[in-house]
C-alpha cells in the first residue's frame, strides 16, 4: 500500500475516537496545534517540551515526524520534501518472500495479543508491516530479520496514515537501535544495567538469583528494543512520546527499566521463576508518567552514588 503524500500540515491517526476529552487534554492539544499550524517554521523545541507530558492520540504521528527529524521545521519546501520522501519510498524494492512470510506470522501473533486494544486494522495493517519491514531490510543487508522489528514498527503503523511516513520513522528509529556501537556493546550495557540493579535493589536482585532467573534473557531485550516487545501498546506510545522528545533517550532508557523494576518489586517478590519470567516478558499496564519521573530520580540517585554516569558505547 503506497499513498500519495499529504498536503496539509497535520494529520490524524486511526485510533479510536474520544468523546468529551478532559480539559487538560484539550489545552494540551491547543498547545500542539499552535506550533503545528505555523505557516513558516515549526518550533520543534516547543514540541519536545510539550511531548514530555504526552501527545494527544490524534496528532501523535504528526508530532513524531518532527521529533524524529523526518519532517523538517522549515515549511518553505514542505511539499517538495514530502514528495521526495514519497518517491524515494515508492522506488524501494519491497519483495522478499521469506521475510514477508515471517513478518506475516509475527503480525498475526501481535494482532491476536493486542486484539482487545483495537489499535490496528487486522485487514489492512499486515500488508503495511510487510512492505515497510521488507523495504528496510532490502536497503540494509547488514541487518537480519528479527520478530522485534514488528513490535518496533507497530507504533508507527498505529499513528500514521501514510505508508511512506511509517517507513521513514521506522527507518530512523531502527537505524538508531542498530547503530554499530550499540550493537557491539550490548553485553557491556547489560552488565552495567545489572550492576545498577544490584546496587539499587539488592533484595530483588538476590531473589532473581535465588530463583535462577536468566537475567540476560529479559534484560537484553528490554535494553535493545525500548520495551516495544514487553509493554502494552498504549504504554509504548506514551513512553515513546517522552523518548522522542529527548536528545539522549538511548542513555536514559536503562533508568526507565530500573524504574519499572522498582515499581513491580513487591509483585515480583511474590512470584516463582516461571511467573517472574512471564511478567518480565509481558509487562502489565502502568502509569508511564510516574515511571518516567521515577527514572529521573533513579538517574540522580546513581549520579550521587557514583559521582557520574558512564555511557557504555563501543
In whole angstroms, give the CA distance from residue 89 to residue 167. 8
Question: Coil, strand, or helix at residue 282?
Answer: coil
Instruction: Give the angle subtended at the CA of 303 by the CAs of 298 and 306, to the nearest 5°.
Output: 120
pLDDT in tens, 166-220: 999 999 999 999 998 887 788 899 999 999 999 999 999 999 999 999 888 899 9
* pLDDT at 214 (0 to 100): 87
Question: Residue 15: pLDDT above 70?
Answer: no
Cell of 287: 502509569
Mean pLDDT (whole number) for 9-37: 63
* pLDDT at 199 (0 to 100): 93
118 and 16 in contact (C-beta within 8 Å)?
yes
In whole angstroms, give the CA distance from residue 141 to residue 160. 26
Tell me where in the chain the CATH 1.10.10 domain(s) lie. 23-73
> Does the domain spanning 23-73 belong to CATH 3.30.70?
no
Residue written as cell 509493554? 231
234 and 285 in contact (C-beta within 8 Å)?
yes
Residue 297, C-beta contacts closer than 8 angstroms, at least 6 positions apart: 259
Question: Residue 27: pLDDT above 90?
Answer: no
CB contact burial 73-95 (16+ within 10 A = b; e otherwise): beeeebeebbeebbeebeeeebe
Question: Coil, strand, or helix at residue 74?
Answer: strand
Tell me where in the chain the CATH 1.10.472.80 domain(s) lie. 180-306
Q: Which fold has domain 180-306?
A: Cyclin A; domain 1 (1.10.472)
Q: What are phi and psi of 53, to 5 degrees?
A: -105, 5
Q: Which 8-state DSSP code applies to residue 185? A: T
* pLDDT at 115 (0 to 100): 85
29 and 52 in contact (C-beta within 8 Å)?
no
* pLDDT at 175 (0 to 100): 95
pLDDT > 90: percent of the chain: 77
* pLDDT at 16 (0 to 100): 40
pLDDT in tens, 230-256: 999 999 999 999 999 999 999 999 999
In whole angstroms, give the CA distance from residue 135 to residue 200. 43
Q: How confident is the model at residue 152 (pLDDT cuts 50, 70, 90)?
A: very high
CB contact burial 291-309 (16+ within 10 A = b; e otherwise): bbebbeebbeebeeeeeeb
pLDDT in tens, 92-134: 999 999 999 999 999 999 999 888 887 888 889 999 999 999 9
Amino acid at each position: 500500500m503506497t499513498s500519495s503524500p499529504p498536503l496539509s500540515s497535520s494529520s490524524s491517526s486511526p485510533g479510536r475516537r474520544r468523546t468529551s476529552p478532559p480539559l487538560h487534554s484539550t489545552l494540551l492539544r491547543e498547545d500542539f496545534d499552535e506550533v503545528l499550524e505555523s505557516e513558516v517554521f515549526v518550533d520543534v523545541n516547543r514540541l519536545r517540551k510539550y511531548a514530555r507530558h504526552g501527545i494527544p492520540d490524534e496528532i501523535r504521528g504528526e508530532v513524531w515526524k518532527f521529533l524524529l527529524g523526518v519532517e523538517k521545521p522549515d515549511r518553505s519546501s514542505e511539499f517538495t520534501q514530502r514528495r521526495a520522501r514519497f518517491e524515494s519510498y515508492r522506488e524501494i524494492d519491497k519483495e522478499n518472500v521469506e521475510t514477508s512470510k515471517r513478518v506475516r506470522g509475527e503480525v498475526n501473533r501481535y494482532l491476536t495479543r493486542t486484539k482487545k486494544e483495537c489499535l490496528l486494522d487486522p485487514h489492512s495493517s499486515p500488508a503495511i508491516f510487510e512492505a515497510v519491514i521488507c523495504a528496510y531490510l532490502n536497503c540494509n543487508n547488514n541487518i537480519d530479520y528479527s520478530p522485534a522489528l514488528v513490535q518496533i514498527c507497530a507504533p508507527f503503523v498505529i499513528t500514521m496514515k501514510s505508508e511512506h511516513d511509517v517507513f521513514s520513522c521506522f527507518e530512523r528509529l531502527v537505524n538508531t537501535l542498530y547503530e554499530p556501537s550499540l550493537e557491539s556493546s550490548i553485553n557491556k550495557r547489560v552488565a552495567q544495567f545489572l550492576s545498577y540493579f544490584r546496587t539499587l535493589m539488592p533484595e530483588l536482585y538476590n531473589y532473581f538469583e535465588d530463583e535462577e532467573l536468566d537475567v540476560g534473557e529479559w534484560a537484553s531485550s528490554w535494553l535493545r528494543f525500548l520495551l516495544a516487545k514487553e509493554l502494552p501498546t498504549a504504554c509504548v506510545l506514551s513512553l515513546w512520546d517522552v523518548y522522542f522528545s529527548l536528545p539522549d533517550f538511548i542513555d536514559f532508557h536503562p533508568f526507565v527499566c530500573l524504574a519499572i523494576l522498582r515499581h513491580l518489586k513487591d509483585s515480583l517478590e511474590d512470584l516463582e521463576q516461571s511467573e517472574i519470567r512471564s511478567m518480565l516478558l509481558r509487562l502489565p499496564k502502568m502509569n508511564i508518567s510516574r515511571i518516567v519521573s521515577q527514572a529521573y530520580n533513579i538517574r540522580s540517585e546513581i549520579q550521587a552514588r557514583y559521582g557520574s554516569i558512564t555511557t557504555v558505547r563501543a
